[in-house]
Amino acid sequence: MTHPPSTDVDSTAPANRYASAPAWRAVDDYFTDALVREDDALASARESGERTTMPNAEVAANQGALLGLITQLSGARRVLEFGTLAGYSTIWFARAVGPEGKVVTFELEPANAAVARENFERAGLADRIELVEGSAADSAERLISQGTEPFDLVFIDADKPSNPLYLQAALELTGPGAVIIIDNVVRDGAVADAGSDDPRVIGVRDVVDAIAARDDLTATALQTVGVKGWDGLIIARRT
């Protein structure tokens, strides 16, 4: 009899900071090798995450490809990103919006911003990316006060306790039809614990409540397992 591969989580084997089962990683590797075209610029950006304040925190290659596909499928030409880090996901977005598109990305840490700028130059995409240093909340507020042209897609992947604040800013910076994606919402299953005192979990649960309370948002959430452990994302669309 053939048995399925083990899904027991191995906390020592991953070459990143996430505990994940060997079978999860093997499946991610299979699909990534077969379907995801990660060139030298993307690979260098991913590897440069080691030089940031949060090594290995960037999305996985197959997740980056998914973000790019959602951008293309939605026809987005203007993307706003909360949380740049080394700019790995930013590059996926910038390629997806095309030469006439624009990506604005917020990064709190100057050291991370410096790494990201190197990666944007290497990828030949610096002309379509605007990296804004400083507090994401303050940066978003400036865009709102300036009456910035609405964005077509917003990716929220910064400090999780601020998720509700970032959602509100995203709603003020988008119009009907816009897509809002929020990353890292499963937290190894902790999101289901209503009594959690983890500020990151509370931030996710609060943003879920905020989305559920709005009639102008249609949303779902997906769990993911793989090289980034057990997590997931929310995808919402303004109606």
Residue whose tokens read 């003020």: 172
Rounded to whole angstroms, how far apart are CA atoms 23 and 10? 10
Predicted local confidence at residue 196, as pLDDT: 98
Predicted local confidence at residue 117, as pLDDT: 98
| pLDDT tens-digit series, residues 9-63 | 654 443 445 789 999 999 999 999 999 999 999 999 999 999 999 999 999 999 9
Predicted local confidence at residue 10, as pLDDT: 57
Q: How far is CA 130 from the centre of its chain?
A: 17
pLDDT average per 10 residues of sequence, the chain (239 residues): 51 57 96 97 97 96 98 98 98 98 98 98 98 98 98 98 98 98 97 98 98 98 96 98
Predicted local confidence at residue 14, as pLDDT: 39
The DSSP result for 88-121, as a single string, is HHHHHHHHHH-TT-EEEEEES-HHHHHHHHHHHH
Rounded to whole angstroms, how far apart are CA atoms 67 and 79? 11
- CATH 3.40.50.300 is the classification of domain 22-238: no
What's phi and psi for 236, nearest 5 deg? -125, 150
CB 67 within 8 A of CB 154: no
Predicted local confidence at residue 3, as pLDDT: 42
pTM of the model: 0.94
